[in-house]
């Protein structure tokens, strides 16, 4: 089979790397990909960047199965366009991807289906939003309704901060994403990423994972797209796993179907788990997580092409995923000044090599005119390793990371700390 992966991040590198190991694969293309997918054996970058270009390429090639990495093409309707052209693609339709593309849609949906989530209110006028937070007090959470590439959520610890966040969002700084704002009750606890595959009817959970959203050690500093992740996340006990499936995942898949908005694709529930084991849904993403995908793909033993092929055929009930029993840890190396405008063009030097139990997944990387590997985005690399325990996996990832250098590099030294502390 010929496979097309859409996207250019670390998530797409990890997906493509796993897909190309399938016995069923003849070729894996990545559109547009990055320097890592360009150099990876068996992967081919194609410089295509729009829905029309992807459809045309998939028809001409022809591509047997397309997998979408990021949310933007989903909310642009890439799945609808492929299906209309008779092409197989794994992902949600434009309408279904509103679960991620509109926080207000997701919150209202959760209310209709009694899916546990934080109390909230939605505003289209700044004055009313200001009034509401004065009533509610701080801490409080302000979210732009639309897609904002990880910049749309402010966890305000003071009323000042909350008022500023509202002004910022309504000022148009986030474009259309901030025309509507969701204000949400502040929740405390431990977060987990719970990702499943759905064919619209059947659901197949992936291994659990935990992301590290803040830039600095100890979960300090600004929010980012994610500075590292590990799998499995021990906070999700077998009992909690069953509860999440029962209270969050199944009601979502069934509810979407019942509303005539059948959900197919990866579904990512970002969860807050309180100390007494209550779960609340913080957000839905219509895709895999980045960097959660990197450790999850290191652990996946099943043939991913076979699995996704069954998924697009509505036969996920026949799938039982097999996982490496070991833990995986991925540490993100970010560019200078990330998460603000990152500097690009810094030369990346890697003096080591990966083995079977480690892999360096690329995200914001490129090859410059001189043939050098350089930074080209905020999150640059995700150094990922497997180990018998989380500690061993983390040590191995950090050892591999020590081989790699670029000016201005930033990374957290404590990926996995919550689980390691226990
Ligand atoms: P989201 O994109 O909605 O997941 O929000 C990004 C991050 O903000 C989450 O991963 C949490 O760390 C934090 N966050 C979101 N909603 C809440 C909430 N209601 N209470 C506390 N923290 C939150
Ligand atoms: N790592 C969080 C996300 O992919 O949204």
CB atoms within 10 A of CB 260: 7
Say which DSSP state 227 is in: S
Q: What is 190-318's CATH number, 3.60.15.10, 2.40.170.20, 3.40.50.1820, 3.30.470.20? A: 3.30.470.20
Say how many Å lie between the CA of residue 78 and the centre of ligand 1: 27
CATH code for the domain defined by 327-421: 3.90.600.10
**Residue 245 reports pLDDT greater than 90:** yes
- How far is residue 325's CA from residue 301's CA, in Å, rounded to a whole number? 10
φ, ψ of residue 67 to 5 degrees: the values are -120, 130
Q: Closest Cα to atom 10, ligand 1: which residue?
A: 213
Strand ranges inside 220-342, DSSP E? 220-223, 228-231, 265-273, 279-285, 327-334
Say how many Å lie between the CA of residue 7 and the centre of ligand 1: 24
pLDDT tens per residue, range 66-78: 999 999 999 999 9
Say how many Å lie between the CA of residue 261 and the centre of ligand 2: 23
| HSE (side-chain half, CA atoms, 13 Å) at 159 | 9
Does the beta carbon of 290 lie inside 6 Å of ligand 2? yes
Q: Closest Cα to atom 13, ligand 1: which residue?
A: 155
Q: Closest Cα to atom 5, ligand 2: which residue?
A: 289
- How far is residue 332's CA from residue 379's CA, in Å, rounded to a whole number? 7
Which ligand is closest to the CA of 118, given by its number? 1
pLDDT tens per residue, range 381-420: 999 999 999 999 999 999 999 999 999 999 999 999 988 9
- How far is residue 106's CA from residue 101's CA, in Å, rounded to a whole number? 9
**Residue 377 reports pLDDT greater than 80:** yes
Residue 197 CB partners (closer than 8 Å, separation 6+): 203, 204, 206, 265, 266, 267, 307, 308, 311, 316, 319
Report residue 394 as tokens: 């983390």
How much is the pLDDT for 133? 96
Domain ranges of the chain: 2-92, 125-179, 190-318, 327-421
**Residue 5 reports pLDDT greater than 80:** yes
Q: Closest Cα to atom 19, ligand 1: which residue?
A: 186
- How far is residue 358's CA from residue 329's CA, in Å, rounded to a whole number? 9
Q: Are 47 and 37 in contact (CB under 8 A)?
A: no
Q: Closest Cα to atom 9, ligand 1: which residue?
A: 282
pLDDT tens per residue, range 189-205: 999 999 999 999 999 99
Say how many Å lie between the CA of residue 283 and the centre of ligand 1: 8
**Nearest atom within ligand 1 for CA of residue 187:** 20
**Nearest atom within ligand 1 for CA of residue 270:** 4
Q: Give the dihedral sign, CA 232/235/236/239.
A: positive
Say how many Å lie between the CA of residue 128 and the centre of ligand 2: 30
Say how many Å lie between the CA of residue 187 and the centre of ligand 2: 18
pLDDT tens per residue, range 135-172: 999 999 999 999 887 778 999 999 999 999 999 998 88
How much is the pLDDT for 176? 74
Residues with CB under 6 A from ligand 1: 118, 141, 143, 153, 155, 184-187, 191, 213, 223, 270, 282-283
Identical topology for domains 125-179 and 327-421: no
| HSE (side-chain half, CA atoms, 13 Å) at 222 | 10
Cα–Cα nearest to 374, from 347, 334, 411: 347
Average pLDDT over residues 342-355: 97
Does the beta carbon of 289 lie inside 6 Å of ligand 2? yes
Fold of 2-92: Rossmann fold (3.40.50)
Pocket mutation for ligand 1, best pick of 142, 228, 282 (most atoms within 8 Å of C-beta) = 282
Report residue 376 as tokens: 């080209």
Residue 399 CB partners (closer than 8 Å, separation 6+): 385
**Residue 113 reports pLDDT greater than 80:** yes
Class of domain 125-179: alpha beta
Cα–Cα nearest to 39, from 354, 403, 384: 354
**Nearest atom within ligand 1 for CA of residue 184:** 19
Strand ranges inside 59-109, DSSP E? 65-68, 89-90
Which ligand is closest to the CA of 225, given by its number? 2
Q: Closest Cα to atom 4, ligand 2: which residue?
A: 289
Report residue 265 as tokens: 């694709």
SS3 labels along 313-348: CCCHHHCCCCECCCEEEEEEEECCCCCCCCCCCCEC
**Residue 32 reports pLDDT greater than 90:** yes
pLDDT tens per residue, range 218-227: 999 988 999 9
Q: Is 137 helix (H, G, I), strand (E, B) or coil?
A: coil
Pocket mutation for ligand 2, best pick of 194, 282, 286, 292 (most atoms within 8 Å of C-beta) = 292
Report residue 218 as tokens: 């100890």
Residue 179's pLDDT band, with cuts at 50, 70 and 90, is confident
């Amino acid at each position: 089979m010929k496979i097309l992966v859409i996207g250019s991040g670390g998530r797409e590198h990890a997906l493509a790397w796993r897909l190309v190991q399938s016995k069923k694969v003849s070729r894996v293309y990545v559109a547009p990909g990055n320097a890592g997918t360009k150099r990876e054996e068996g992967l081919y970058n194609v410089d295509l960047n729009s829905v029309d270009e992807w459809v045309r390429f998939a028809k001409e090639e022809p591509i047997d199965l397309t997998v979408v990495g990021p949310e933007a093409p989903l909310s642009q309707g890439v799945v609808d366009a492929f299906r209309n052209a008779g092409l197989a693609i794994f992902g949600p339709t434009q309408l279904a991807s509103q679960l991620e593309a509109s926080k207000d849609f997701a919150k209202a949906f959760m209310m209709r289906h009694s899916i546990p989530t934080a109390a909230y209110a939605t505003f289209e006028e700044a004055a009313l939003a200001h009034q509401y937070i004065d009533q509610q007090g701080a801490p409080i959470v302000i979210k732009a309704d639309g897609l904002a590439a990880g910049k749309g959520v402010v966890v305000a610890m003071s009323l000042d901060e909350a008022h500023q966040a509202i002004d910022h969002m309504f000022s148009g700084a986030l474009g259309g994403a901030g025309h509507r704002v969701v204000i949400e009750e502040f929740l405390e606890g431990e977060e987990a990423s719970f990702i499943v595959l759905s064919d619209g009817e059947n659901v197949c959970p992936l291994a659990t994972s935990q992301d590290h959203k803040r830039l600095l050690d100890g979960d300090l500093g600004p929010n980012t797209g994610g500075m590292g992740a590990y799998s499995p996340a021990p906070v999700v006990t077998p009992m909690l796993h069953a509860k999440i499936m029962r209270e969050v995942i199944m009601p979502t898949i069934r509810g979407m179907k019942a509303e005539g908005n059948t959900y197919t694709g990866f579904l990512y529930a970002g969860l807050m788990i309180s100390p007494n084991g209550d779960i609340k849904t913080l957000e839905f993403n219509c895709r895999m997580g980045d960097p959660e995908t990197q450790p999850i793909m290191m652990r996946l033993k099943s043939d991913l092409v076979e699995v996704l092929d069954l998924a697009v055929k509505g036969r996920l009930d026949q799938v039982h995923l097999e996982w490496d029993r070991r833990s995986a840890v991925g540490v993100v190396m970010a560019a200078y000044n990330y998460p603000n405008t990152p500097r690009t063009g810094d030369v990346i030097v890697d003096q080591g090599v990966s083995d079977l139990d480690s892999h360096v997944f690329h995200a914001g990387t490129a090859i410059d005119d001189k043939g050098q590997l350089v930074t080209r985005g905020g999150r640059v690399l995700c150094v990922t390793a497997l180990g018998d325990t989380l500690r061993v996996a983390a040590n191995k990832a950090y050892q591999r990371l020590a081989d790699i250098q670029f000016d201005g590099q930033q990374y957290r030294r404590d990926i996995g700390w919550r689980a390691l502390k226990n």
